[in-house]
Amino acid sequence: MNDLQEDKEPLFDSVDTVRNCVVIFTEMLAHTTFKSERMRKAAGGGFSTATDVAEYLVQQGVPFRRAHEIVGRIVAYCVKSKKTFADLGLKDYQKFHAGFKEDLMPRIKLENSVNARRHRGGTATSTVKERIREFEKKFGKK
């Protein structure tokens, strides 16, 4: 039978480690500079709005499996052509599926994609600001 006091040491070590990480991380953030434009460009590169395109198709009545396949073909085309979603016009999208309409275009803009996720834990600016206010209220504003 193990001494029950022996099981406490790993717990206390873990608490100390987390506490030290929070202190270090807080200090690190105080001296960190973010390059917003570079971050925005990186986020807009690639195919971060692919889910939005698939969701659009699903809302048009396309089964998700088919929507996923269509978006996959669009991504493959873009990679081969060295293009991004933003480089494509509506007629380009319609080559892959006739159901694409003009209302697709605003949805694939990065800011609109980010702000479409308004649920708790989502990426929408309003949601993030609300969580910041909650944390400031709970832990105090610095």
Which residues have a Cβ under 8 Å from the Cβ of 101 and sit 6 or more positions away? 90
Domain stops at, among 100, 117, 134:
100
Would you say residue 51 lies in a domain? yes
Asked if pLDDT for residue 5 goes beyond 80, the answer is no
The Cα-based distances of 123 to 3, 82, 107, 113 in angstroms read 47, 28, 15, 9
Number of domains the chain contains: 2
- Report d(CA 55, CA 35) in Å as an integer: 30
Q: What is the structure's pLDDT at 16?
A: 94
Would you say residue 93 lies in a domain? yes
Domain hosting 79: range is 47-100
Would you say residue 32 lies in a domain? no
96 and 56 share a domain? yes
Query: What percentage of the chain reaches a pLDDT higher than 70?
Result: 96
At position 44, the amino acid (one-letter code) is G
Predicted confidence (pLDDT) per residue in 64-80, tens digit: 999 999 999 999 999 99
pLDDT interval class at 2 (50, 70, 90):
low
* 5 or 25, greater pLDDT: 25
Asked if pLDDT for residue 142 goes beyond 70, the answer is no
142 and 114 share a domain? yes
54 and 86 share a domain? yes
Query: What percentage of the chain reaches a pLDDT higher than 90?
Result: 75
The structure tokens listed for 114 are 């980010």
92 and 60 share a domain? yes
- Report d(CA 53, CA 37) in Å as an integer: 24
Would you say residue 4 lies in a domain? no
* 3-state class (DSSP) for residue 46: coil
113 and 142 share a domain? yes
59 and 95 share a domain? yes
Would you say residue 123 lies in a domain? yes
